[in-house]
Amino acid sequence: MAVSADPGARGPHVAGPPDGPHVVLWGDVTCPRCQQAVPRLRSAPVCLEWRHLVLRARGPRPRALAGALEAAAAQGAFWPVLDALVAQPGRTEDPDLWALAERLGLDVARFDTDRRGDAAAARIAADLRDGLAAGASGTPAILVPGRPLDHGVPDDAWVAALLAERG
Amino acid sequence: MAIIAPGTAVPEIVLKREDGSDFTQADLQGRTTVLVFYPFAFSGVCTDQLQVYEELLPELAEKDAVMYAVSTDASPSQTAFREKLGVTIEQLSDFEPKGTASRALGAYFEPGGMTNRALVVVAPDGTVAWSYEGANPGELPGPDKVREGVAAVAA
């Protein structure tokens, strides 16, 4: 199934070398496979874009953590927070989030307001809408423009093949 | 076994609803029906699929379409699976005689003795409007496939 995506389009949460291959990951911080996929892609020379795939069926926590990521992004700390949450999935309760925000030097009160705010909710909804349209049937859903959507956890061979494909 | 083709009337089938009552071809009349065939309750990848499809239910309702998930698991297992997933998609069991309805719709995977990964969309008049079979039971049709199938009814 080929998925069309505008290769030039980039959402707000992008990291890695801008000239590296564009890899879009729809994920959920509570998903163990996403917790594996994120550090692998973070350490690869790819331009990684995170999109939320928050499903109601998984309960309230995925949405709460996606909100925390948006609140962190509002203070320029999206990636440190994502890295911390996937590295320590057992430490993602609210007090853990406040401690993390404090450790990163964020305005904790603002962080706590923003994560429940309309801007975060709108971003989460938009990401879900786009993920469903792209054909995501679970997490992680990984899109490399021009390729079929992939639901596996990328390993070294996956990254090597992607880089080789680019020449 | 090829999946049932669009334009074919759904043959006689009997599945069990979660409450133990029969679900037959007569229950397909009057509104669009999306049948989601999945191999086994509690197997890894199915988990994501129905949770993702749950997000589509509001838009299906707007189109007067209803979704059911079908496997050869017995009803109590299906209900436990549905509750574990946190989804509302009603489960239909093809447990006894095993796989008979799925075979009639071409959605049975003989080598595995299980329902294949397939989607069948039935129009309100009881004829198949659209069908899709994964290349293998490990391939999950995305939510875009469900939308494509439901759109085929309106077309």
Q: Which domains does chain B have, with CATH numbers?
A: 14-154 (3.40.30.10)
Would you call B120 an interface residue with chain A, using a CB distance cutoff of 8 Å? no
A15, part of any domain? no
**pLDDT digit string (tens) for A76-133?**
999 999 999 999 999 999 999 999 999 999 999 999 999 999 999 999 999 999 999 9
Min Cα separation A84/chain B (Å): 24
C-alpha span between B43 and A19 (Å, rounded): 39
A5, part of any domain? no
User: pLDDT-derived band of residue A3, with 50, 70 and 90 as boundaries?
Assistant: very low
> What ipTM is given for this predicted complex?
0.89
Cβ of A136 and B52 within 8 Å? yes
Q: Assess whether pLDDT exceeds 70 at residue B46.
A: no
Q: Which amino acid, A122?
A: A
Find the CB nearest A137 among B54, B86, B140: B140
Residue A58 is part of a domain; what is its CATH number?
A: 3.40.30.10
A7, part of any domain? no
A4, part of any domain? no
CA distances from B103 to B13, B44, B46 (A): 10, 24, 20
CA distances from A92 to A56, A79, A87, A147 (A): 18, 15, 10, 33
Q: What does the pLDDT read at residue B134? A: 83
Min Cα separation B97/chain A (Å): 30
Q: Assess whether pLDDT exceeds 70 at residue A1.
A: no
Q: Assess whether pLDDT exceeds 60 at residue A8.
A: no
Cβ of B48 and A138 within 8 Å? yes
- Domain count of the fold of chain A: 1
User: pLDDT-derived band of residue B113, with 50, 70 and 90 as boundaries?
Assistant: confident
**pLDDT digit string (tens) for B49-100?**
999 999 999 999 999 999 999 999 999 999 999 999 999 999 999 999 999 9
